[in-house]
Structure formats: C-alpha cells, structure tokens
Amino acid sequence: MSLREYTTASTIAPPKFRMVVDAGSTGSRLFIYDISDRGEGDASVIKVGSIKTTPGLSCFIHGCNPEKYPTPSDQYMKLVRYANSIIPPSDRAATELTILATAGMRMLSEEDQNTIYSSLLAGLSSEPDFQYSITSISTLRGDLEGYYGLVSSNHLLGYFGELSTSNDGYRPHGSLDMGGSSTQITFLPGDRGPKIDLIEEREEVFRNLYVQSYLGYGADTFREGIWDEVAAKGGGEVKCAFKGWRGEWKGEKLVGTGDAAGCREAIRERIERLSSAKGGGGGEFIDIDGIRHPKIRGRFIAMSLYFFALDCLRVVGGDKSLAEGWPRPTMNEVLHATEGFCAMEWSELEPKKSTIHKFTRDWGLEHRCFEAVYIATFLRDAYGFEEDGRRVQFRFDIGGEEVEWTRGMVMVEKGEKRKEE
C-alpha cells in the first residue's frame, strides 16, 4: 500500500459528519462538518467544531517538542478527544477522517513525509479511543488548496450554480490564501467564457481558472529568508520588525527599527532576486518565483493570514482610513497604516501580547509588522492589485461561517458523490 493513500474506511451507515485536518506548517487544525443531506442537489456543509494543535507536522522530522508530543499521534490525540466530545459513539465508525498536509510538508522530501505519515497512521490505529475511518493521510497539491478555497468562499457568498464570465452570469470571486510556507491565488482571468458547474466539473474549471501556489512565499518562510540575509552580515537592524524589538537568529542579534517603507523595499528586492534566479523579470509587475501571472480581474476574498495580520493592523494600529475602508481597504491605505503600526514601541506592545488582538497569539504579535507590510507589498507590487482599488475583502467569516479551504474540499467531495449516485 502506498504511504500516500491510507484507507481504513468502512461504510456502516450514511455518515452524518465529515472530519478534515488542515495540517499546516505551524500547526494542525481539525474541522468537523455536518454533511447530512438537506434536500436534492444540496452540496452545502455546516461546520460544527474546530480545534488547532501546534506545532506543524513537518517539525516532527526533527523531533520537535519531544517531551510534550513524542510522536505525531500523541499530538493528534488532542484532536481525537475533541472530536469524541462532539460526535456520538454511534456515528464514529461511519465518520471519515482525511488528513491533508500543506506547504510545510511539501518542503520535505517524499521519504521524510512518508516517515511522518506512517508513524501517524500506526499511532492512531493503536489508540482505543480512535474509532474513526481514515480515508487518506497525504500532502495536498497547492493548486487544489487554492481551488477548494475558491469553492468555499463563493459558496458562503451565496453562489451555488454555474461559473460564468458572461455579462449576464456570475463571475466568481477569486481567492487569496496565505500560510506560513506558501501562498495561493485563484481567479478567473478571461473576459468571457462558458458556464461551468464550479463543484461538479472540476477538470473544466481548472482549464478556465488561474490557480497558482507559491511554495516558499508564505509569511514565515519569506521572513526567515530576510533574517538569513541580516544574520549573514553579522546581525543588526531589521526594518521589518517593531521598533525596539530584539531577537536572535542563527546566533546573531537582531534589532527592529520599525521602518515600514524600508521593509517594503527589502521585500520587493528579495522577490525580484528570487524570481530573476528562475528566469523571471521584465513585466509590468514583479514576476513571482519566475512565473508570469495574468492580469488581475474581478473581486477577491482574502482568508487565513491575510485576514489575521491585517485585522491586527486595523485593531492595534488604529489608522482611521484603514478602519473606514475595512474590510475592503485599498493597498495604499494598508501601506500607510503600516508606517505608524511598525513604528510602535515593542516595549509597549509586548506586555499586552496575550490580549491585544483576538486573532493573534502571544508568540505571533512580534511578526505582525512584517506580515502586514509583506501582504500589502505582495498584493500591490507582485500580483498587481491597484493602489486605490477595493477588489479585495479580508474576511475571517462570511455570514458567521469561517472561510477555509477544508469546507470547499468537503463540498466538492459531496458533489462528486451525488453525481455518481
């Protein structure tokens, strides 16, 4: 049996629940959905619970945090116990669990990925409290991650029918997603096109959509690249950190200067260098990783870190123009807000790091300056979003339901099964 597709599923009764783990670079998050049929042709799902555990699966190859979590399954039992508190015992055997890893695992060799996956499968299978059907433990392709995000966001916006670029049809919102190790963009680049079912005609959708995942361009990986450059020079000032922040990286001392404008320039220069090394350059906007992307069209929903970082900028920074334009600020409004935000004294922010922002953990606040500048720079100077346009909505939820790619995956799966019946 391939280590890429573990199957232990058995059908006992029509399942009421579906579980998916988004195994990201910084942690693994379990989503539990109610997939009960609510009428003919219904592909909707309802989230009934979620929980996250850290660190990410990829760090187990280095034996991370062995005292707390000796093995991946030790960590995942926290997720299992949470699931047991929601799903009745009578429904567990029919409930399928899929564990899909994203960019953190994509950056490992296939051998290392399989080592982690086989350990996780063996550990969970030996636990008496684990009563679910594992359908797959695998690494999710970046383009599928982007596609599922687009399905999820458009469904929550109220779209259930066909994708169309015609004037009288529905032009789907594009999706923007960013994590610690990668970022995804998905949108419809053409002016006109056929009507396609967004869920049931996936192959045709892929022929019309632009879907691109940029591995290594997640916020953590890109920031660490900038830190590498500073450390290689013996340490010193870091423009992309709050004023007065102090840290250490690869044995060198780093000091934040809170220079948002300088940070933006450093980010832009690094993107250009990385792209030039792969043959990119020469376009109106920066090529990304040597890839020339089509012109931006339509409106977008930006989820995950896009929302978390810029909402922190809005709440903590207190910029009036950004607040008035939220959740659809212009790129200029965001960049202007970063100037005052990054210049805030770290000595004043640090004591409040546990409570200062609802969506920021205490260990994450110190990186919000960089993340806010990086996001605005990437959107404006690399993707080519207009300086004064309001194409992008930064959203955590729509209609009270969280926007995340796992929902889109379950919707597509449900639609495909309905098509087979």
Q: Give buried/exposed letters for 356-378 (b at 16+ CB in 10 A, else e).
A: bbeebeeebbbbbbbbbbbbbbb
User: Could you give the CA distance from residue 321 to residue 51 in angstroms, rounded to a whole number?
Assistant: 34
Inter-residue contact 307 to 334 (CB < 8 Å): no
- Residue 131 annotated in ligand binding: no
Rounded (10°) CA dihedral 413, 26, 302, 355:
130
The pLDDT score that the predictor gives to residue 281 is 53
User: Could you give the CA distance from residue 307 to residue 392 in angstroms, rounded to a whole number?
Assistant: 11
User: Could you give the CA distance from residue 193 to residue 208 in angstroms, rounded to a whole number?
Assistant: 8
Inter-residue contact 123 to 73 (CB < 8 Å): yes
The pLDDT score that the predictor gives to residue 189 is 87
219-398 CATH choice from 3.30.497.10, 1.10.3720.10, 1.10.10.60, 3.30.420.150:
3.30.420.150
Question: How far is Cα of residue 157 from the mean position of the Cα atoms in its chain?
Answer: 19
Q: Taking the CA atoms of the chain, what radius of gyration do you get in angstroms? A: 22
Length of the chain: 421
Taking Cα atoms as reference points, which of 302, 305, 359 lies closest to residue 331? 302
- Residue 125 annotated in ligand binding: no
SS3 305: helix
Give me 54's structure tokens. Answer: 């850290």
Inter-residue contact 341 to 369 (CB < 8 Å): yes
User: What is the distance in angstroms between the CA of the first residue and the CA of the last residue of the chain?
Assistant: 28
The pLDDT score that the predictor gives to residue 286 is 62
Residues 6+ positions from 63 with CB-CB distance below 8 Å: none
- Positive/negative CA dihedral, 303, 308, 311, 317: negative
Residue 145 annotated to the active site: yes
The pLDDT score that the predictor gives to residue 417 is 77
CATH code linked to domain 17-140 = 3.30.420.40
- Residue 181 annotated in ligand binding: yes
Catalytic residue among 5, 111, 145, 402: 145
- Residue 183 annotated in ligand binding: yes
Q: Going residue by residue through the chain, which has 421 residues, state the pLDDT in tens, using 9 for 90 and above.
A: 234 444 444 444 578 999 999 999 889 999 999 998 766 555 568 999 999 999 899 989 877 776 788 899 999 999 999 999 999 999 999 999 999 999 999 999 999 999 999 999 999 999 999 999 999 999 999 999 999 999 899 889 887 554 444 444 567 899 999 999 999 999 988 765 556 666 666 677 777 889 999 999 999 999 999 999 999 999 999 999 999 999 999 999 999 999 999 999 999 999 989 887 665 555 555 678 888 888 999 999 999 999 999 999 999 999 999 999 999 999 999 999 999 999 999 999 999 999 999 999 999 999 999 999 999 999 999 999 999 999 999 999 999 999 999 999 998 888 777 766 6
Where exactly are the structural domains of the chain?
17-140, 219-398
